[in-house]
Amino acid sequence: MANSFGIDIGTQNLKIFGGSSNQITNIKNTIAVVNKNQMYSYGDNAYCMYEKAPELIDVSFPIVSGVIADFDNMQTMLFEVLEKDLKGKIKGADIVVAVPTDITEVEKKAFSDLFSKSKNKPHSIKVCEKPIACAIGMGLDVDEPTGIMIVDLGADTTEISIISLGGLVLSELLPFGGNQIDESIVTYLKRTYNLVIGQKTAKQLKEEIGSAMKGLGEKLTVVGRDVVSGLPIEMEIDSDVIYNAMKPDLESFCTNVRLILEKVPPELARDIVHSGIYLTGGTSKLNQLAELFKDFTKIRVNDCEDPEEACVRGLGQILSDSKYKKYAYNMRTRIFK
């Protein structure tokens, strides 16, 4: 379908599938605002300002813990990206938005309202449960009477879901993800080495030398501020230091995966043991995370290429393939029927 968009609004990234180009646009879901309500910048340019902007520029993320925290600015940014950057037309378009499962119906409706409460009315606005879209995007057959376990590790949330026959048997949205790991790295380095670093530097350490298992042997030199002298200093950080900082959070991930597995009906548990656990989301790119989950659960773990885009790829298939259209529904009829 030419005039259609599949939209995955994540805490860290905004991913959009354009039906006319069949291309995915992936930008930072960040806004920079001046005078409290005037948008100064958005996307990757706004993210570059994060932790560097003067007081008069407020840089923030409009999605917090999987829900819309700043509706007006999120709507403004979306329309800027769709109409100016992607040269798309919202008026008359078919739109499918991914929503987390374990949030309220009102919070889900807010994702739909981004478009329904705009001047340019789309032809249709539908939403799709995120785990279903992820499974479709990973090429899994969600229609089969077979249990599929999806662990979606995002920036602010982790969603653990069991899918069978095109529906969700179990789903749990946990209030922690990659951002919490970054905060743990900041706290650990400050407490252990008297080194103060920013969230961006912590994210860089996690992505470049971080590992879910000990002994990677990588090193990275970062610049921070010494707590004692108050002056900027350079320090070489070892991958085992980052592992120690992340260890409590990694154990929490594993524990919650096991808790969900304990609730799975026996027949579905057999399917999961046979097919394995599927990892998706940006945080799943952490080095050796699949091996950690496998050691902890004794179940094979499958990761995928470009895991942060699995959901939006699924939305693209829902828009373009008639057999998947049933997985997107109208929020208004869902609430009031």
Residue 227 shares a structural domain with residue 83: no
Residue 160 shares a structural domain with residue 256: yes
Residue 144 shares a structural domain with residue 242: yes
User: Which pTM does this prediction carry?
Assistant: 0.93
CATH number of 124's domain: 3.30.420.40
Is the torsion defined by CA of 219, 221, 227, 229 positive or negative?
A: positive
Residue 296 shares a structural domain with residue 314: no
Residue 123 shares a structural domain with residue 213: no
Q: What is the pLDDT of residue 189?
A: 98
Residue 121 shares a structural domain with residue 144: no
Q: Which residues pair with 38 in a beta bridge?
A: 34
Say how far apart CA 86 and CA 127 lie, in whole Å.
Answer: 21
Q: What is the pLDDT of residues 120-170, one digit of tens each?
A: 889 999 999 999 999 999 999 999 999 999 999 999 999 999 999 999 999
Three-class DSSP labels, the chain: CCCEEEEEECCCEEEEEECCCCEEEEEECCEEEECCCEEEEEHHHHHHHCCCCCCCEEEECCEECCEECCHHHHHHHHHHHHHHHCCCCCCCCEEEEEECCCCCHHHHHHHHHHHHCCCCCCCEEEEEEHHHHHHHHCCCCCCCCCCEEEEEECCCCEEEEEEECCEEEEEEEECCCHHHHHHHHHHHHHHHHCEECCHHHHHHHHHHHCECCCCCCCEEEEEEEECCCCCEEEEEEEHHHHHHHHHHHHHHHHHHHHHHHHHCCHHHHHHHHHHCEEEECHHHHCECHHHHHHHHHCCCEECCCCHHHHHHHHHHHHHHCHHHHHHCECHHHHHHC
The residues near 195 (Cβ < 8 Å, ≥ 6 apart) are 189, 224, 225, 226, 227, 233, 235
Q: What is the pLDDT of residue 290?
A: 96
Backbone torsions φ then ψ of 105, nearest 5 degrees? -60, -35
What is the block-wise mean pLDDT of the chain (337 residues), using blocks of 10 residues?
A: 89 94 95 90 96 94 94 94 90 94 92 91 94 96 94 96 94 93 98 97 97 94 96 97 97 94 94 96 96 96 93 96 93 54
Backbone torsions φ then ψ of 296, nearest 5 degrees? -80, -40
Q: How far is CA 8 from the centre of its chain?
A: 8
Residue 98 shares a structural domain with residue 179: no
Hey, how many other C-beta atoms are within 10 angstroms of the C-beta on 109?
A: 16
The range of the structural domain enclosing residue 107 comes to 4-133+310-336
Residue 324 shares a structural domain with residue 276: no
Q: What is the pLDDT of residue 46?
A: 96
Q: What is the pLDDT of residues 63-72, one digit of tens each?
A: 999 999 999 9
Per the structure, the count of domains in the chain is: 2
Best CA proximity match to 99, nearest among 85, 109, 113: 109
